[in-house]
């Protein structure tokens, strides 16, 4: 059975397109791919080479909005629980984060389960 990589990426092209490039390269080497994103990201991922798409709960809040921050924290924790449940079923070898707030629940769940994680940052100099 081939290894499984969960690719976690936000719902914009700036995050999804680099994630798709990695997913295609890993799939060409025999890896199975699962995409973890939010509902918005799932709408743009029709050509993403994944055997499954996880639409995790995710949110962000404006700085200086304490109520919004609490609400966002609750939503992110829901996403973490969703990801943990999925990861128990999928047993990924690695979770790769490509940015955007929808990647956070998957990465936090992987860290909580002591799974290998990678953060890809294409903007670093």
Looking up tokens 């639409």 gives 55
Domains of the chain by residue range: 4-119
Query: What is this structure's pTM?
Result: 0.92
The pLDDT, as a whole number, for residue 63 is 87
Residue written as token pair 């996880």? 54
Residue 59 tokens read as 């949110």
CATH architecture of the domain covering 4-119:
3-Layer(aba) Sandwich (3.40)
> Residues 60, 28: contact at Cβ < 8 Å?
no
| Backbone torsions φ then ψ of 36, nearest 5 degrees | -110, 120
| DSSP annotation of 109 | H
Residue pLDDT, tens place only, 46-94 = 889 999 999 999 998 888 899 999 999 999 999 999 999 999 999 999 9
DSSP state of 63: T
Distance CA 91, CA 87 (A): 5
In this prediction, residue 125 carries a pLDDT of: 59
């Amino acid at each position: 059975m081939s290894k499984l990589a969960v690719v976690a990426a936000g719902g914009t092209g700036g995050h999804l397109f680099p994630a798709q490039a990695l997913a295609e390269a890993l799939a060409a080497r025999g890896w199975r791919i699962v995409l973890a994103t939010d509902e918005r990201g799932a709408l743009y991922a029709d050509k993403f080479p994944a055997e499954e798409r996880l639409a995790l709960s995710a949110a962000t809040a404006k700085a200086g909005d304490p109520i919004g921050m609490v609400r966002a924290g609750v939503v992110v924790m829901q996403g973490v629980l969703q990801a943990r449940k999925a990861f128990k079923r999928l047993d990924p070898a690695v979770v790769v984060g490509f940015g955007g707030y929808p990647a956070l629940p998957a990465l936090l769940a992987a860290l909580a389960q002591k799974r290998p994680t990678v953060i890809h940052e294409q903007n670093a100099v």
